[in-house]
């Protein structure tokens, strides 16, 4: 049996995962690397995590890539989706998810070191970036196919046409990137695509 302790890297399905939390006989895990690129939503307009196409994909097509035995170990969880703390944009309704993205609160306060003081004592100067000098930025960095890349969180950006993300340097883009056709000339050198990266998370039964 693989040892599940916080920070350890474990195999599950076709991927390697990092253990973020252990509660009783369950562990919260996130893919160690970005596993693919995907828009947050499949058409323009306002959207929350509850209704976005990326959530549909993760809990449908992606979930179905696991064997039945693996699926039986993936535990459903009720996720709360808070409004954006800086801009007040809607987080939307609570969601029951098998596979999900982390929220800004989880990325800031719980699983990559504790930077909650910067979340609780927000500055008027924080218009786009969470904190460029945050000591925990390096813990949030990730790569896709060997290249540093940015990855989505499920939280809304400055409005509901944007979603918060983790920049390549680990800083958090609190204003968000466009949920549909993200307008950026920065493209991944291997894929030629500018879409955000996906690091799925799930609660895994250890029994």
Per-residue pLDDT tens, the chain, 207 aa: give them.
567 899 999 999 999 999 999 999 999 999 999 999 999 999 999 999 999 999 999 999 999 999 999 999 999 999 999 999 888 999 999 999 999 999 999 988 788 766 666 655 555 555 555 566 667 787 888 999 999 999 999 999 999 999 999 988 888 888 888 898 766 677 888 887 888 999 999 999 998
Tell me phi and psi for residue 117, to 5 degrees.
Answer: -60, -30
Where does residue 188 fall: left (phi above 0), alpha (psi -120 to 50 degrees), or beta otherwise? beta
Q: What is the pLDDT of residue 112?
A: 78
Alpha helices by DSSP H, listed for 47-191, are 53-57, 68-71, 104-105, 116-120, 137-140
Kind and range of the H or E element at 16?
Answer: strand 15-23
Reported pTM: 0.90
**Cross-strand bridge partners of residue 22:** 27
**Cross-strand bridge partners of residue 197:** 37, 151
Contacts of 72 (CB under 8 A, 6+ apart): 205
């Amino acid at each position: 049996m693989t040892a599940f302790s916080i920070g350890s890297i474990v195999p599950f399905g076709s991927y390697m995962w990092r253990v973020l939390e252990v509660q009783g006989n369950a562990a919260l895990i996130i893919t160690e690397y970005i596993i693919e690129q995907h828009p947050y939503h499949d058409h323009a307009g306002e959207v929350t995590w509850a209704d976005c196409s990326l959530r549909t994909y993760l809990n449908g097509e992606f979930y179905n890539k696991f064997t039945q035995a693996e699926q039986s170990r993936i535990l459903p969880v009720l996720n709360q989706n808070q409004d954006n703390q800086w801009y007040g944009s809607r987080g939307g309704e609570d969601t029951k998810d098998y596979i999900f993205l982390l929220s800004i609160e989880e990325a800031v306060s719980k699983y990559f070191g504790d930077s909650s003081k910067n979340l609780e004592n927000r500055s008027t100067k924080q218009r786009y970036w969470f904190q460029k000098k945050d000591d925990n930025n390096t813990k949030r960095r990730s790569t896709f196919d060997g290249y540093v890349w940015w990855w989505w969180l499920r939280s809304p950006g400055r409005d509901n046409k944007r979603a918060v993300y983790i920049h390549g340097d680990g800083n958090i883009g609190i204003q968000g990137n466009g949920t549909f056709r993200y307008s950026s000339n920065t493209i991944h050198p291997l894929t030629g695509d500018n879409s955000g990266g996906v690091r799925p998370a799930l609660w895994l039964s250890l029994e």
